[in-house]
Amino acid sequence: MLSAKKQIIFCLGIFLFLLTFSNLAKAQNILFNYNYKLEPAMITAAPEFIGAPEINYPDEARKNGVEGMLKASFTIAEDGSTQNIAIEQSLPNGVDEAVKTGLQKLRFKPAKFNDRVVAVKMYFDYVVSAVYDEQDKNVSKPKVTSQPEPVYPANYSAEKLKGEVLVAVICNADGTVKVMGTNSVMPKEFDVASREAAEKIKFEPAMHKKSKKAVSQQITVKYKFKP
């Protein structure tokens, strides 16, 4: 049995995972971050997830650029099912319904107090964010204001290699850059130089045409090398 201090669980800690799905026809990636905690309870074993929630993000929400935090709560019953699901902070365009449907399908190994299974209440926070493809017509492309050239690798100067490196870059809505990867047939030193250059890109974020909000968008940056 847990100590008296640990019997009353104020927060089991943060369980943060990223559920990512992509639909190329929609030219957009939807990202979900989940945080959860339990309501204070007398338990000796915490509930455990069996699988992860599957959320079918509504197309209407995608078209309208819906992002933000949705808060939900539910009871994990003695049989491990989810009951009394409530949306406590909403997101529009069908997101509430999609999340609720996903939660209804969740299953758990139930909590226990000693050897007896018990019901507990769980709170979930969903942070929904979108990364738009550069071909998505729902958004305007980010405006690059500064794009430094990569440094030619000194150890290849004598060979006078020529070529190009493609870099996948996410231009985030907050003005930061995240380099996702490179594609080339050049030696790895050229990929490294390209990544370092891409990390210094400055830009004005892409804008969602309908919502008029700054959004994140993945673009491809091409660097050409010649000695």
pLDDT of residue 6: 34
Q: Model confidence over 183-226: pLDDT tens digits? A: 999 999 999 999 999 999 999 999 988 888 899 999 999 999 99
The whole-number average pLDDT for the span 10-30 is 38
Provide the 3-class DSSP secondary structure of residue 155. helix
State the pTM of this model: 0.59
The whole-number average pLDDT for the span 60-69 is 83
- ∠ at Cα 89 (87, 75), nearest 5°? 35
Q: Is the predicted pLDDT of residue 19 greater than 70, yes or no?
A: no
Q: Average per-residue pLDDT in the chain?
A: 85
**What is the rounded CA–CA span in Å between residue 112 and residue 42?**
9
Please report which residue ranges of 69-130 form alpha helices under DSSP H: 95-104
Highest mean pLDDT of the ranges 53-67, 90-104, 123-137: 90-104
The whole-number average pLDDT for the span 10-31 is 40
**What is the rounded CA–CA span in Å between residue 93 and residue 62?**
9
Q: Model confidence over 110-163: pLDDT tens digits? A: 999 999 999 999 999 988 888 888 888 889 999 999 999 999 999 998 998 999
**What is the rounded CA–CA span in Å between residue 212 and residue 56?**
24
Q: Is the predicted pLDDT of residue 25 greater than 80, yes or no?
A: no
The whole-number average pLDDT for the span 58-81 is 91
The whole-number average pLDDT for the span 38-56 is 91
pLDDT of residue 14: 28
What are the angstrom distances between the C-alpha of 105 and each of 52, 55, 73, 88?
9, 10, 14, 19
pLDDT of residue 29: 76
Three-state SS annotation for 81-117: EEEEEEEEECCCCCHHHHHHHHHHCCEEECEEECCEE
